[in-house]
Structure 1
């Protein structure tokens, strides 16, 4: 039983009630009392506050049995909105979601610069538009989370973004000068992992998500919290050396994992051998369907090196679920079985290896979900991907 300051206990009870309402979708006061183990009086008092705050709405459940129709509670999904931003090289993706994490709009803006001041100005202009468009809702824009493809400190300062060549940039501080909305900066791989846990793997406490697009990043959820390391830089596993004295990497080492097992490594090899610029996933898919031997051999090599790195991180972290975020893997038949065929170690333990069903959307979905979690101040957030 929780004891302590009355206001603190009330806050904990409120968070628990909100968490269960979101998790169940619709739930009666009586059932809410059962699943939370809180008294009906506590439930009634808390729900009254949530109704007054416009965070929860009531509806009568239609059914054919005799007796009084139960009054069901659900989160007022349109009471406010969250803005997720994926700041990548060459483009910025903006996704606005309701309070249940369902996207209501998405927009991709091309970037033709890496200049910090210009990109900051562009972000500010678009955020103002979203802020204005949300003013009709009760809470408006409740939070903004910006995903960056680089190193972020625990204080949410951008330490380094390789492709933008940004060093020690305080984007959070600079945006906070323009807006009163809560703003957070987070690594993109962490947000992908968060989205996988929030939208798909609800019962998972320990989850790793490897993103394999331009490089390799690994987002790590341990006990449903981000595992960040000492400075916040954990997860840069793409720079684990898998081939001593191998291909040179921009990080300064040779033989880094992402030089052999990222999608970029496959695209680069095919572009060079076939003298094609702007190679697409659709072209590779067609070659695979045609039984192109060179492409199949390259994909097998990609899976082989991918498995080497996965074996290492499985042994290091012993995850419950390991998710691979890659469009190439979705295109290749039996990719998971082939990867698992390379994982021979008798001491490697994990429960489930999956290819992401969220794909590239996972980053902005994770950003929206993190903004929602911070606004509602709940310890755990389970959202429905079907509704998204």
Structure 2
């Protein structure tokens, strides 16, 4: 039984009701009372407030039975919008969702610079555009949450971004000095793990999301909560050492996992073997479809190194769900089964190993979901996409040897 200050209890009840309306998508007052355990009077008062704030709306359920049609409650998706930003190397991805977590806009912008000030100026210009675009809604553009491919402290300051060589940057402060909107800076892998839990694996309290791209990032959900560590820097599994005296990494160590198991590392190895300076995902897919012997041999070695790191992580966390986000693994036949065959230890216990259905939109979607949760002040959100995500074609995307 919850006891305490009346205003606090009212806030808790409000959050519980909103959360259940989102989960159920359409629910009556009577059913809300049953689901939440709150009495009908409390539900009625809270619902009246939410209707006045235009956060929910009423509709009549259609049915063929005799009697009065029940009044159903649903979240007012168009009351406000949230912006999720994935600030990746050479690319910024933007997704806008409504309050139901449904994407209403997607855009990917190429970056030709690593200069911090230039990228900040670009972010300001784009966020201002989105503020203007959705200004006519009840609450407008509510927040912008930015996922960064690097270490972000608990106070949302950027500690280090290897790809950009940024150190100790106050991106949140630099943006809020110009923009009149709530800004949040988060680690990209944490946002991706959050998205997988919110949109796909609702019942998985212990989930790992492993991002395999230009580097490797790991988002951790333990007992249903994101684990960020003492300073906020947990999940940097790409920098665990799997080869003593191995290749030199940007972090200063040698033999880091991401030097052997990121997609960038795979592309570099393939390009060196092929003696080319640039290779696209489309070209790699063609080589896989043709079962090019050299390509397949390099991929088999890549799978072994990838499995080595995964084995270490699984032994550390005993996860229920391991989600791998990788464009390469999606085009490589039976990738998951091949990875599993490299788990020889009886100690490597986990629930399921899967490829992400959200792909590289997971970071931006996780940012939007977090923005919704914070705005509605609910303990958690469970969202369902109205339609499967359509993979964005980037056939000319790839990596180059510099």
Which interval holds the TM-score relative to the shorter structure?
A: over 0.9
Q: Which residue of 2 aligns with 1:361?
A: 361
Name whichever of 162-171 and 355-364 sits farther off: 162-171
SS of 1:87's equivalent in the other structure is: strand
CA–CA separation in structure 1 for the residues paired with 2:223 and 2:53: 31
**Counterpart in 2 of 1:176?**
176
Aligned to 2:278: 278
Tell me if the contact between 1:208 and 1:218 (Cα under 8 Å) persists in the aligned partners: yes
> In structure 1, how many angstroms separate the alpha carbons of the residues matched to 2:347 and 2:161?
36
Q: Which residue is 2:93 aligned to?
A: 93
Q: CA offsets, 1:150-195, max 9 Å, x none?
A: 1100000011111212111111111111223211000111111111
The question of whether the paired residues in 1 share the 8 Å contact of 2:86 and 2:188 is answered with yes
1:208 aligned to 2:197?
no
Measure the CA separation in 2 of the matches of 1:290 and 1:109: 32
SS in 2 for 1:78: helix
Residue-by-residue CA offset, 1:291-346 (whole Å, 9 max, x unaligned):
21111111111111111111111111111111000011111111111111111221
Contact 2:89 2:214 in 1 (8 A): no
Structure 1 residue 348, shift from structure 2 partner: 1.9
Instruction: Note the aligned Cα RMSD (angstroms).
Output: 1.1
Q: Does 1:148 align with 2:148?
A: yes
- What secondary structure is seen at the aligned counterpart in 2 of 1:208? strand
Which residue of the partner structure matches residue 392 of structure 2? none
C-alpha distance in 2 between matches for 1:176 and 1:156: 13
- Show the counterpart of 2:111: 111
Gaps of 5+ in 1: none
Q: Which residue of 1 aligns with 2:36?
A: 36
Equivalent residue number for residue 329 of structure 1: 329
SS at match of 2:45: helix
- C-alpha offsets along residues 15-68 of structure 1, whole Å, 9 cap, x if unaligned? 001111101111111111111111111111100100000000111111112221
Deviations 1:133-152 (A, max 9, x none): 11110000111101111110
Inter-partner Cα distance in structure 2 for 1:17 and 1:353: 34
Q: How far does residue 278 in structure 1 lie from its aligned partner after superposition? A: 2.9
Cα deviations by residue, 1:220-239 (Å, 9 ceiling, x for unpaired): 11222221111111111011
Within 2, Cα distance between the matches of 1:350 and 1:177? 45
Distance 2:343 2:152 in 1: 32
Q: How many residues are paired up?
A: 388
Instruction: Give the secondary-structure state (helix, strand or coil) at the position aligned to 1:354.
Output: strand
Task: Find the residue that maps to 2:79 and give its secondary structure.
Answer: coil
Moved over 6 A (4+): none
Name the residue aligned to 2:134. Answer: 134
Which digits, 9 at most, give the CA deviation of each residue in 1:200-224, with x for residues without a partner?
0001111110001101110111222
Per-residue CA deviations over 1:118-141 (Å, capped at 9, x if unaligned) read 111111111111111111100001
Q: Does 1:229 pair with 2:222?
A: no
User: Aligned equivalents of 1:237 and 1:197: distance in 2?
Assistant: 20
Q: Does the CA contact (< 8 Å) of 1:200 and 1:385 recur in 2? A: no
CA separation in 1, counterparts of 2:254 and 2:177? 41
Residue number in structure 2 paired with 1:348: 348
C-alpha offsets along residues 259-315 of structure 1, whole Å, 9 cap, x if unaligned?
111111111111111123331222111111112111111111111111111111111
* 318-327 vs 112-121, greater mean Cα deviation: 112-121
278-287 or 146-155, which moves further after superposition? Answer: 278-287
- The unaligned stretches of length 5 or more in structure 2 are 390-402
In the aligned structure 1, how far is the partner of 2:55 from the partner of 2:97?
15
Matched residue, 1:372: 372
Secondary structure at the counterpart of residue 343 of structure 1: coil
The 5 A counterparts of 1:294-305 are: 294-305=294-305
How far apart are the structure 2 equivalents of 1:67 and 1:315? 58
Normalised to the residue count of structure 2, the TM-score between the two structures is: 0.94
Aligned 8 A contact 1:224 1:380 in 2: no
Partners of 1:336 and 1:354 within 8 A in 2: yes
